[in-house]
């Protein structure tokens, strides 16, 4: 059979409506032309610099595969210039034709674009002709970005056409996100900018945030200021007021770009797939009458149910609580139903990962084109293809692309990684449906990443423990027995348990609160909370009972006494609730307690029972403040920002304004929840940072004072001495070892 063309698509955030429509056009045209597509699809746009996200860009090394015949590249979805540069260098190295999407002219690549200018002109015309508005602002995207300038150009054409005045203050460059919209709204609210009659926004998200911020500031939308969006997103249609927007012909963009890259590769013109054109979509935000929302589709209803399930059930605990790759694949098989309209799934891990048991925890798992891969899970929507690992080279991308098939395929290839370690990739196809994955897939992949990291660590630790004398039985953070220690202690004290009872209760305490957004990315804080929680558990258990850290954010208690789960939960709840008044020992977070009772057979399995206990939760503690006061989460986020950046010139008035709280209420609630005022916390965080710099850097005390946010050296020294009873210089002398010179005479 003649080789089928394989077109690579380089794009991020495929779950967004905008990108999903482009991909629908690409895939539809590819199927029409009998071509395969492989979408290299990381789950984020690299706007934030973190080790985890930077490792995800390793997936783009697949660009160098000889399987590819050409590429479609949407560089607008990448928000980091260094990542763009790395991707483009790989595309150039590949030597294959490249077609840019929605981009200005490029020195190397061809480009396909949609006429945003005419669409923006049409939106502005609507505000002028239908509503009679004259003073209109335009909030577009980043300056010099092709799509931003095209949309701004359409606004200017409409204003000139109607003889209306505009100037630089009317043309605002933004970020296609929320920060620019919030800033513009605040300038309008406080009078820094004169109030317009309408604002034309570069996308629906900016329009939603702008409208929300204006309304909070006492300005009505659309009565006082009309607001319009662009891209016609589901988010905009569900907003109140519903956003007047423009359904951009993204499908047409994707299909046309594919036809052009096909012609570049083959010299032939392919048959067109039926195109979808753009149009103005009226909502209430511009002042038109409200149009009732369409009834939610079956897909929307299914997605809402799946999202609730994946967030509230135990997928993460289930797949992470496995001892090897085979068990992991077996359990993951039970959760593939979360992938809506799945046709086929492959989980492919590098050989470096599957053999990491023989390595060290500090070893870095890298990725290069040509690395050997293993398919540990391959299945359709209804059944597994095979058990065990099937090997192939990453230069082939997927085994399916080397097989003879009567039909083309489109696979989304997403990296699997955790921080600095690259594990492999997931490949999913939706068969004949030219759709993309949805937001639930992000949760699903991230759960897999966490589970694979846990399996890696456990494998390395288990291989290290060759005998009892060398076993690592205690956790470094909490000081408790770790998983191996709990198993060993249970085996040694099994006979003592049998003397007291024929049964044992296996209790699992899980710190579900540490999955909340304001704790993510702060490993130090999570460690402190876990250690504080461990000390509270120690005060609740009896000397005859075994307890320890079973997994990350999960504790185990094994007891021969019945009904202890309820007793431990009640006592632990009181201690945890009381801890919120201690700044150092505060571990007032959500947690759950599960229990499984097991008869003490000759060889009982604590691992099996503790896994069942994780699933069978009988008690749940919820932070009452978070439920009673909606400001609690905001204050937690604020405290995290203070801790990370204590050197910034924090101002109580500015903070109160940002959180839409009064100054007195902000200070009162902050001290109630965290035991200290904002000023006291800021001083504490600044001094903690200064101590780190005194011990671990060669900076002068003056420079350290500036680095920690002090404008006055003397004031810094006074505060430091009041807290530590020694000056900064004396503190450094006490904690930094000095070299000792030995007299050789």
Q: Give the pLDDT confidence of 341-358 residue by residue, as tens digits.
A: 899 999 999 999 988 766
Q: Are residues 556 and 497 in the same domain?
A: yes
Q: Are residues 387 and 431 in the same domain?
A: yes
* Band of residue 745 on the pLDDT scale cut at 50, 70, 90: very low
Rounded CA-CA distance 270/5 in Å is: 13
Res 298: pLDDT: 65
Q: Are residues 635 and 621 in the same domain?
A: no
Assigned domain for 305 exists: no
Assigned domain for 23 exists: yes
Q: Are residues 453 and 363 in the same domain?
A: yes
What is the average pLDDT across 158-186? 93
| Assigned token pair, 27 | 């895939």
Name the nearest CA neighbour of 422 among 13, 38, 44, 51.
51
Q: Are residues 623 and 635 in the same domain?
A: no
Residue 297 vs residue 253, higher pLDDT: 253
CATH of residue 239: 3.40.50.2300
Q: Are residues 243 and 315 in the same domain?
A: no
Running DSSP on this structure, what letter comes out for residue 628? H
Res 387: pLDDT: 58
Least confident of 126-130, 187-191, 422-426, 644-648: 644-648
Q: Are residues 615 and 643 in the same domain?
A: no
Rounded CA-CA distance 191/197 in Å is: 14
Q: Are residues 449 and 486 in the same domain?
A: no
Assigned domain for 282 exists: no
Q: Are residues 484 and 621 in the same domain?
A: yes
Res 635: pLDDT: 77
Question: Which helix (H) or strand (E) element contains residue 619?
Answer: strand 617-621
CATH of residue 660: 1.10.10.60
Res 467: pLDDT: 38
Q: Are residues 184 and 97 in the same domain?
A: no
Q: Are residues 353 and 452 in the same domain?
A: yes
Q: Is 198 exposed, middle or buried (0-12, 13-18, 19+ CB in 10 A)?
A: buried
Q: Which residue segment(s) compose the domain that 726 sits in?
A: 631-735
Res 742: pLDDT: 37
Name the nearest CA neighbour of 280 among 135, 148, 118.
118
Distances (CA, A) of 562 to 391, 541, 542, 567, 651: 49, 13, 13, 10, 54
Picking from 578, 605, 627, the residue at the C-terminal end of a domain is 627
| Assigned token pair, 500 | 């007291």
Res 248: pLDDT: 87
Picking from 599, 627, 655, the residue at the C-terminal end of a domain is 627
Taking only the tens place, the pLDDT of each residue in 565-592 is 888 988 888 888 777 766 667 788 888 8
What is the average pLDDT across 608-633? 72
Residue 308 vs residue 487, higher pLDDT: 487
Distances (CA, A) of 251 to 117, 437, 708, 717: 17, 16, 51, 63
Residue 11 vs residue 512, higher pLDDT: 11
Count of domains observed in the chain: 4
Q: Are residues 92 and 142 in the same domain?
A: no
Using the predicted structure, report yes or no on whether residue 176 has a pLDDT greater than 90.
no
Picking from 464, 495, 520, the residue at the C-terminal end of a domain is 464
Taking only the tens place, the pLDDT of each residue in 482-534 is 888 889 889 888 888 888 888 899 999 999 888 664 555 567 778 888 888 99
């Amino acid at each position: 059979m003649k080789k089928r063309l394989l077109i690579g698509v380089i794009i991020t955030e495929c779950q967004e409506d905008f990108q999903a429509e482009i991909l629908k056009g690409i895939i539809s045209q590819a199927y029409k032309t009998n071509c395969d597509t492989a979408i290299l699809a990381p789950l984020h746009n690299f706007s934030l610099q973190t080790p985890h996200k930077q490792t995800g860009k390793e997936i783009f090394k697949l660009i160098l595969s000889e399987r590819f015949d050409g590429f479609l590249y949407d560089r607008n979805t990448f928000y980091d210039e260094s990542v763009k540069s790395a991707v483009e260098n790989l595309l150039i190295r590949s030597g294959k034709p490249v077609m840019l999407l929605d981009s200005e002219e490029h020195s190397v690549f061809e480009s396909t674009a949609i006429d945003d200018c005419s669409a923006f002109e049409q939106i502005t015309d609507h505000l002028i002709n239908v509503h009679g508005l004259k003073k209109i602002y335009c909030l577009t995207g980043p300056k010099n970005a092709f799509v931003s300038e095209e949309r701004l150009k359409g606004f200017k054409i409409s204003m000139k056409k109607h003889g209306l005045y505009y100037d630089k203050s009317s043309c605002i460059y933004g970020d296609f996100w929320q920060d620019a919209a919030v800033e513009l709204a605040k300038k309008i609210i406080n009078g820094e900018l004169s109030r317009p009659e309408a604002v034309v926004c570069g996308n629906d998200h900016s329009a939603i945030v702008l409208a929300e911020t204006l309304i909070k500031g006492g300005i009505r939308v659309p009565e006082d200021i009309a607001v319009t969006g662009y891209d016609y997103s589901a988010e905009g249609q569900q907003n109140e007021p519903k956003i007047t927007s423009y359904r951009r012909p993204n499908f047409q963009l994707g299909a046309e770009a594919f036809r052009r890259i096909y012609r570049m590769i083959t010299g032939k013109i392919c048959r067109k797939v039926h195109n979808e054109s753009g149009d103005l979509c009226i909502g209430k935000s511009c002042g038109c009458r409200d149009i009732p929302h369409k009834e939610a589709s079956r897909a929307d209803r299914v997605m809402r149910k799946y999202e609730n399930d994946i967030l509230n059930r135990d997928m993460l605990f289930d797949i992470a609580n496995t001892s090897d790759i085979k068990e992991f694949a077996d359990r993951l098989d039970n959760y593939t139903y979360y992938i809506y309209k799945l046709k086929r799934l492959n989980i492919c891990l590098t050989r470096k990962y599957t053999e990491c048991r023989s390595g060290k925890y500090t070893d870095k798992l890298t990725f290069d084109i040509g690395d050997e891969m293993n398919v540990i899970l391959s299945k359709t929507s209804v059944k597994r293809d095979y058990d065990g690992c099937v090997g192939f080279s990453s230069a082939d991308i997927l085994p399916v692309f080397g097989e003879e098939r009567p039909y083309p395929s489109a696979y989304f290839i997403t990296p699997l990684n955790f921080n600095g370690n690259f594990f492999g990739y997931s490949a999913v196809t939706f068969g004949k449906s030219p759709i993309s994955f949805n937001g639930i897939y992000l949760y699903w992949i991230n759960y897999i990443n966490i589970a694979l990291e846990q399996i890696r660590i456990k494998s390395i630790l288990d291989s290290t423990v060759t005998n009892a004398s060398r076993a690592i039985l205690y956790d470094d953070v909490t000081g408790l027995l770790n998983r191996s220690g709990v198993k060993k202690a249970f085996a040694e004290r099994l006979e003592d348990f049998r003397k007291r009872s024929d049964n044992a209760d296996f209790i699992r305490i899980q710190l579900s609160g540490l999955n909340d957004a304001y704790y993510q990315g702060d490993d130090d804080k999570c460690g402190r909370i876990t250690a504080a929680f461990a000390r509270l558990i120690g005060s609740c258990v009896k000397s005859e009972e075994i307890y320890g850290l079973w997994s990350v954010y999960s504790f185990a208690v094994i007891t021969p006494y019945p009904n202890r789960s309820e007793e431990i939960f009640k006592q632990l709840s009181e201690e945890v609730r009381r801890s919120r008044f201690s700044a150092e020992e505060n571990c007032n977070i959500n947690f759950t307690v599960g229990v499984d009772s097991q008869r003490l057979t000759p060889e009982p399995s604590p691992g099996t029972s503790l896994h069942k206990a994780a699933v069978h939760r009988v008690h749940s503690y919820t932070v009452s403040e978070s439920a009673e006061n909606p400001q609690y989460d905001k204050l937690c986020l604020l405290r995290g920002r203070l801790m990370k950046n204590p050197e910034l010139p924090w101002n109580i008035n500015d903070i109160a304004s940002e959180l839409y709280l009064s100054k007195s209420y902000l200070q009162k609630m902050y001290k109630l929840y965290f035991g200290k005022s904002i000023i006291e916390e800021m001083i504490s965080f600044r001094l903690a940072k200064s101590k780190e710099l005194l011990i671990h850097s060669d900076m002068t005390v003056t420079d350290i004072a500036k680095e920690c946010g002090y404008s006055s050296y003397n004031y810094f020294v006074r505060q430091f001495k009041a807290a530590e009873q020694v000056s900064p210089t004396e503190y450094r002398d006490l904690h930094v070892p000095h070299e000792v010179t030995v007299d050789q005479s």
